[in-house]
Structure 1
Amino acid sequence: MLTPVHYNTKSNQMSLPPRPQLFDFHGVPMTRYFTDNWENVQNFQAKPDDILIATYPKAGNTWVSHMVDLLHFGTESSKNQTSPLIYHKIPLLELNFTPIQPESPNAPSVFKGTEMLEKITTSPRIIKTHLPLKFLPKSIWEQNCRIIYVARNIKDSVVSLFHFERMTFMHPEPGEWTSYLQRFLEGNIVFGSWYDHVNNYWEKKQTYSNIHYMFYEDMIEDTGREFDKLCSFLGLSPSAEEKKDILSCVMFENMKKNNKVNYSAVKGMDYKMSSFMRKGKVGDWINYFTVAQSKEYDEDYKKKMKNPTLTFRTEI
């Protein structure tokens, strides 16, 4: 049974429940918020036109989800004040969360990714996940669904995830920075090893043609170029005007200000700690890593990143 978010009605202040415990789940560290609906996740019935957007946490999933949503359903729907929030339109498949106070009258009383997806009537359904490859429902493969995977370099990933874990109650407390760096290298965090995550999807891409593998750094460097590649993968041909409009909408600063996209309505995040959308940069890690820590990560990377065809940039 999940612990819901409580509110102090006198002060209208949110009282966060205790942080969940990390536990081994079929070889991957997880918390109950992502495993309590597991049977339904594994039995999820995909449709042939479903689009799955998979990433390690804090690697650009919301960014690409917003882009794909605008490509299929247009920018006017996003600007409409009554349009759903992005995480209602594009649910996290594995999520199982029960808030006490709904964020709005139309919000689900229970956030179960599988149930939210079953209620979507528009096509294609866009599905968000942070699950490692081995945990994806078998129907994804049976239906030959298109998968968009976004990978981000390890140093910026750990910085971004550290700040996120400081502000979200659905992950364990991150602790102090130095020990967190070590736990990240060991893969002892929610959704497991960064190395396993990025490598396994890359290897699957070699035998499963319906995976489009993107890099966060490439998107920052030239969003328009990567947008064109994404359109080609999806078989879409937006006009020059549509492309310009979408690229404007998905600029980081515009997304950060867009309450439909920036997760500001989510109950259960401590925005005094950090915003959900923080900086959206490549190379911010240099503001956090010491020289010794950077060297340790470089040496660990050389040992564990065995596939020479998968390369990352930590600056552009």
Structure 2
Amino acid sequence: VNEFSELSVKKMDAILRPKLFDFHGVSMTKFFTENWENIQNFQARPDDILIATYPKAGTTWVSNILDLLYFGQREKPIPIYERVPFLEIFHSAMGSGVDLADKLPTSPRLIKTHLPVQFVPKSFWEQKSRIVYVARNAKDNVVSYFHFDRMNKIEPEPGDWSSYLQRFKQGEMVFGSWYDHVSNWWKKKQTYSNLHYMFFEDMVEDTGREIDKLCSFLGLTPSVEEKTRIVGEVHFDKMKKDDMANYSTVPVLNFKISPFMRKGKVGDWKNHFTVAQNEEFDEDYKTKMKDPTLQFRSKI
């Protein structure tokens, strides 16, 4: 009976998972487009801070850092996805990100998005809200996204690793092409001064140094003790065990398959890519990443 029920759960899971479709030139699913008018009409404020990333690039990490910098240890524990709403999500189990963001009692409001730069509600630019973008090298990013898609029931079925890697190169992922995402946000930084562009690898290498840069961008001056405490609080192993940060309370995620926070390392791609896959990936990468000023490290 157990085998049968597990099989039927898997089948149901595959049926219920959303399908990818082309949305204004970007692969998306209904959970991020069904509330589109409300997303586009979202009223940003000048003191809002938008945390923007391609999925699985360190969003939760930076969200937690910002939350601690502004609000310290909260008296009553609140899950990170309520403290930092996911603007474009629209799902029965997760609610509406727009509504959650509108109801945030905090100032500044911390809001997260995975939207490509051209989809960001225009009020963020009009209000000159500050934006923190986090980018992660493509190889680690695709590995992390693969494991995430395996355990996340509101993502399309990932299939096997090699076909997933092909789709990643073609931009057939929710939120579209990694290459376009990181490059177009990087371009935006040249014309929009309230954008701070961070790299996941730099944060792994020296979290304190990157928090200093972030504080300098935000005009914050935490004490040495406060900064040391935050660096300790946001250590990967600590966050992975923290039910308010690790998404273990979200019903659509299956932790039996993979944790939401898996390794948080630089270079784990070496455990997934074959030599041939790596060579093909590098060749393809050269054709897609033309801007010499945007450089990533796939090892540190």
Whether these two folds match at TM > 0.5 is yes
SS of structure 2 residue aligned to 1:206:
helix
Q: Which stretches of structure 1, 4 residues or more, deviate above 4 A after TM superposition? A: none
- How far apart in 2 are the matches of 1:207 and 1:34? 27
SS of structure 2 residue aligned to 1:310:
coil
Return the TM-score normalized by structure 2. Answer: 0.95
Alpha-carbon offset, residue 199 of structure 1:
0.2
Counterpart of 2:21 (choices 20, 23, 43) is: 23
1:92 aligns with 2:90: no
2:65 corresponds to which residue? Answer: 67
Counterpart of 1:203 (choices 169, 176, 187) is: 187
**1:115-194 matched pairs, under 5 angstroms:** 115-194=99-178
If each structure's helix is expressed as a fraction of its own residues, which one has the higher value? 2
Alignment gaps of 5+ in structure 2: 6-11
Return the TM-score normalized by structure 1. Answer: 0.90
Alpha-carbon offset, residue 111 of structure 1:
1.1
**1:1-316 matched pairs, under 5 angstroms:** 16=13, 18-74=16-72, 76-77=73-74, 80=75, 82-99=76-93, 111-316=95-300
Alpha-carbon offset, residue 38 of structure 1:
0.5
- How far apart in 1 are the matches of 2:252 and 2:203? 30
- How far apart in 2 are the matches of 1:51 and 1:24? 29
SS of structure 2 residue aligned to 1:54:
strand
- How far apart in 2 are the matches of 1:119 and 1:303? 44
User: How many residue pairs align between the two structures?
Assistant: 289
- How far apart in 2 are the matches of 1:44 and 1:35? 14
SS of structure 1 residue aligned to 2:16:
coil
- Counterpart of 1:89, as a letter, is R
- How far apart in 1 are the matches of 2:100 and 2:272? 38
Give me the identity figure in percent: 64
SS of structure 1 residue aligned to 2:191:
coil
Alpha-carbon offset, residue 83 of structure 1:
2.3
CA RMSD of aligned residues (A): 1.2
- Counterpart of 1:244, as a letter, is T
